[in-house]
């Protein structure tokens, strides 16, 4: 247990925060420039100057470029047809083609966004040159100024770290508590304990309460590491966060206890925990918003404790939400804790 308690948090926070990112910082681009004009070279230079794109290769063959895309050696193809500059001069419009590797739909969407942004900026500069004014003096009907709340620099680590902390706390609460209880069955000591004068609820509390404290300690440890290494903002109330985490851990401990009552070996516990953990994590909104799921999935998600804590920890740390903002989630999770703990205790009494 000691490596799980002390080494696992460091590995998760230091490694996973950097690994679990949706940012695209090295996009391999294949250039097919059949025009070879000054304008086409300006467009290519615009992509070369971007911090996101890396020009992997140039060619006149679109077939060669598509082969690179099929072999996963290129992420995007920029195809500039012949006559590109001539059409721009004569008709004030022309066409180019972008071919994007869309096996990963999310990555493809980001690549398309970055590429169209570069092309849009290039088009703006081109328009400025044609009417002989500088880009910052182009007349605009609407001047849009962007302001990003809660994460002004769009730092993906700030978004991911609270979610990873939820997984960390859950592993301590669910896995270790379930493994600890079922170990008594494997060793044969559970029968000896049941014939002693000790009350069963005393035994259950004695088994679960230490992991409740350990999980809260892990949350504090994770927040400290996050502040020191990633400078994660802590806008809201930490006592409120720990209060909500305390209720959340009652739910997680109840699930762990229930799993231990239907399992006879630690191997069975591991399989069941991984089964529930995988579903809960994917539906929790760790990587993508839960609101983007189908409506039926959002209704099913009401039994997912991860979804509640994943949302609340980000609301408190990043937005500074107060109790009134998380009141409904707090009450729902409290009811969830009563139900799952009652069911787990009833099941434990029944099988022993």
**Tens digit of pLDDT for each residue in 187-198?**
777 767 767 777
Q: Where are the beta strands (DSSP E) in the chain?
A: 27-33, 53-59, 76-80, 97-100
For residue 262, what are the contacts with CB-CB under 8 A and spacing of at least 6?
A: 272, 347, 351
pLDDT of residue 352: 46
pLDDT of residue 314: 92
pLDDT of residue 351: 47
Distance, in Å, from the CA atom of 313 to the CA atom of 162, rounded to the nearest integer, reads 6
Lowest mean pLDDT among 3-7, 152-156, 229-233, 339-343: 3-7
pLDDT of residue 51: 83
Q: What is the separation of C-alpha 6 from the centre of its chain, rounded to a whole number of angstroms? A: 23
- Which residue, 222, 107, 209, 216, is CA-closest to 164? 222
For residue 99, the tally of other CB atoms under 10 A from its CB is 17
Q: pTM for this structure? A: 0.76
List C-alpha distances in Å: 78 to 56, 187, 208, 348. Answer: 11, 65, 59, 63
Q: What CATH number belongs to 23-137? A: 3.40.1710.10
Phi and psi, residue 131, nearest 5°: -100, 10
Q: Are the CB atoms for 273 and 173 separated by under 8 Å?
A: no
Q: In sequence order, what DSSP letters do the residues of 95-135 get, joined into one string?
A: --EEEE--SSHHHHHHHHHHHHHHHHHHHHHHHHHHTTS-G
Q: Which residues of the chain form CATH 3.40.1710.10?
A: 23-137
Q: Are the CB atoms for 215 and 8 separated by under 8 Å?
A: no
Pairing mode of beta strands 76-80, 27-33:
parallel
pLDDT of residue 136: 55
At residue 110 the predicted structure's pLDDT band, cuts being 50, 70 and 90, is confident
Question: Running DSSP on this structure, what letter comes out for residue 195?
Answer: T
Residue with more model confidence, 210 or 133: 210
């Amino acid at each position: 247990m000691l490596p799980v308690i002390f080494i696992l948090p460091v590995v998760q926070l230091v490694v996973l925060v950097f690994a679990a990112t949706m940012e695209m910082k090295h996009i391999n681009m294949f250039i097919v420039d059949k025009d070879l004009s000054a304008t086409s070279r300006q467009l290519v230079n615009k992509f070369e100057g971007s911090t996101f794109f890396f020009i992997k290769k140039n060619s006149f063959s679109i077939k060669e470029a598509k082969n690179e895309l099929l072999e996963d050696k290129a992420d995007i193809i920029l195809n500039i047809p012949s006559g590109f500059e001539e059409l721009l001069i004569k008709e004030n419009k022309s066409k180019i083609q972008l071919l994007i590797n869309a096996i990963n739909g999310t990555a493809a969407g980001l690549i398309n966004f970055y590429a169209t942004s570069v092309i849009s900026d290039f088009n703006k500069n081109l328009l400025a040159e044609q009417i002989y004014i500088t880009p910052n003096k182009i007349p605009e009907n609407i001047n849009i100024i962007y302001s990003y709340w809660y994460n002004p620099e769009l730092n993906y680590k700030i978004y991911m770290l609270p979610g990873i902390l939820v997984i960390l706390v859950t592993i301590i609460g669910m896995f270790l508590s379930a493994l600890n209880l079922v170990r008594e069955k494997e060793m044969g000591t559970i029968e000896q304990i049941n014939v002693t004068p000790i009350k069963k609820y005393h035994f259950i509390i004695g088994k679960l309460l230490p992991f409740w404290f350990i999980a809260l300690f892990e949350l504090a440890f994770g927040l400290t590491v996050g502040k020191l290494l990633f400078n994660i903002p802590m806008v809201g109330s930490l006592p409120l966060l720990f209060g909500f985490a305390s209720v959340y851990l009652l739910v997680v401990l109840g699930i762990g206890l229930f799993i231990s009552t239907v399992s006879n070996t630690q191997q069975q516990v591991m399989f069941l925990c991984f089964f529930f953990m995988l579903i809960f994590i994917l539906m929790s909104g760790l990587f993508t918003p839960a609101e983007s799921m189908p409506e039926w999935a959002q209704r099913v998600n009401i039994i997912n404790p991860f979804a509640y804590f994943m949302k609340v920890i980000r609301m408190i740390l990043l937005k500074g939400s107060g109790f009134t903002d998380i009141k409904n989630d707090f009450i729902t999770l409290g009811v969830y804790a009563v139900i799952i703990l009652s069911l787990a205790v009833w099941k434990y009494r029944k099988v022993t």
